[in-house]
Amino acid sequence: MSLTRWKWPLAALSVLLAAAGATRLVDNQYFYFSTYLILQYIILGTAWNLLGGFTGYVNFGSGAFFGIGAYLSAYLITEYGVGFPWLLVAGSVPTAVLGLGIGYLTLRLRGVYFSIATLALSVVIATIILNVPAFGGARGLYILRPKEVPGFDTYMEFLFTLMVALSLASVAFARYVQHSWIGRGLTAIRDDEEAASCTGVPVLRLKVFAATASGLMMGLAGAPYPFYISYMEPMATISLDVAVNSLAMPLIGGTTSWLGPVLGAALLGSAQQIATVTISSEYNLLIVGVLLVLFVILAPSGLIGLIQSIAKRRRSP
């Protein structure tokens, strides 16, 4: 019993140690640069899935939460030289509060009306940042990375290891939610909100919880981004690309499980990075669109549903 209880924490620790060990074995800096993006989308996809997959509320505002986390972090770096742990707090807590407020106001909307409201949020946030001089306005912000990080040869290796830790924490949280009463309540809301309310499920509280947790995780994904990219401008940071990728990766992987966004991010993120190197990054959204259409038509339950379907066929006589 005790070994079973510690199986997943030990597995997560093993992955983190393996990632730290990889920084001693792999010298190719592009490996860390590209893997960072995949890990970033694991966090964003997992965050989106809490609200869009488990609860059934399709969110197009991922770019707004991600951008707020990134810009608050960048501002604190450039103006006050704040340390990294505080940047993670500063990037995630305000987006959690925003998720709480926006969730309470907009989750009374349903279907396409909620999606339009979240899309409008991205436009509003981008416009605000564009017109605030402290955030660099249209000219953007430049961020200088520290030259050295204790224990790492380059700053990119440190960011890679940090994102491994953050993605593991996000996935662990999503797994806990799925297997707890919270996950069962969110699933009941997705299947039939009125029936869930009639059977005693605290519908509004669970929806606000999902919106708050989703916002926090998206801001957390954005907090290290200024160090990764070194230069930020509003239209690129709070872009439709972030929203589309955050939505597509759980849909491709499977929205009914915590593992879906991980598989979707691994597949779609890898395909985008390969296309960036071999063809052009301009084809990234085309890859997203083609894969999304294929999975919607051929495997509407995503990779997880496809794997389960194949396994079921093999078991059947």
What confidence tens digit (pLDDT) does each residue in 202-220 have?
988 999 999 999 999 999 9
With a pLDDT cut of 90, the percent of the chain lying above it is 35
The pLDDT-based confidence of 1 (bands split at 50, 70, 90) is very low
d(CA 224, CA 178): 27
Look at residue 2 and tell me whether its pLDDT is greater than 70. Answer: no
d(CA 128, CA 237): 13
**240 Cβ contact partners less than 8 Å away, ≥ 6 residues apart:** 63, 122
d(CA 20, CA 16): 6
Side chain identity at residue 209, one-letter code: F
Q: What is the mean pLDDT of the chain?
A: 86
What confidence tens digit (pLDDT) does each residue in 135-159 have?
887 788 888 887 778 888 888 889 9
What confidence tens digit (pLDDT) does each residue in 51-109 have?
999 998 988 999 999 999 999 999 998 888 887 888 899 889 999 999 998 888 877 77
What confidence tens digit (pLDDT) does each residue in 153-171 have?
888 889 999 999 999 999 9
pLDDT value at position 169?
A: 93
Mean pLDDT of 174-181: 93
Segments making up each domain of the chain, as ranges: 2-239
Look at residue 259 and tell me whether its pLDDT is greater than 50. Answer: yes
The answer to whether the Cα torsion of 118, 120, 126, 129 is positive or negative is negative
- If we measure between CA atoms, which residue out of 259, 250, 237 comes closest to residue 174? 259
The SS3 call for residue 152 is: strand
Contact 93, 212 (CB under 8 A): no
Contacts 24+ apart (CB under 8 A), 129-132: 129/67, 129/71, 129/234, 129/238, 130/234, 130/235
pLDDT value at position 166?
A: 94
Residue burial 192-220, b: 16+ Cβ < 10 Å; e: rest: ebeebeeeebebeebbbbbbbbbbbbbbb
Look at residue 3 and tell me whether its pLDDT is greater than 60. Answer: no
Residue burial 58-79, b: 16+ Cβ < 10 Å; e: rest: bbbbbbbbbbbbbbbbbbbbbe
pLDDT value at position 4?
A: 57
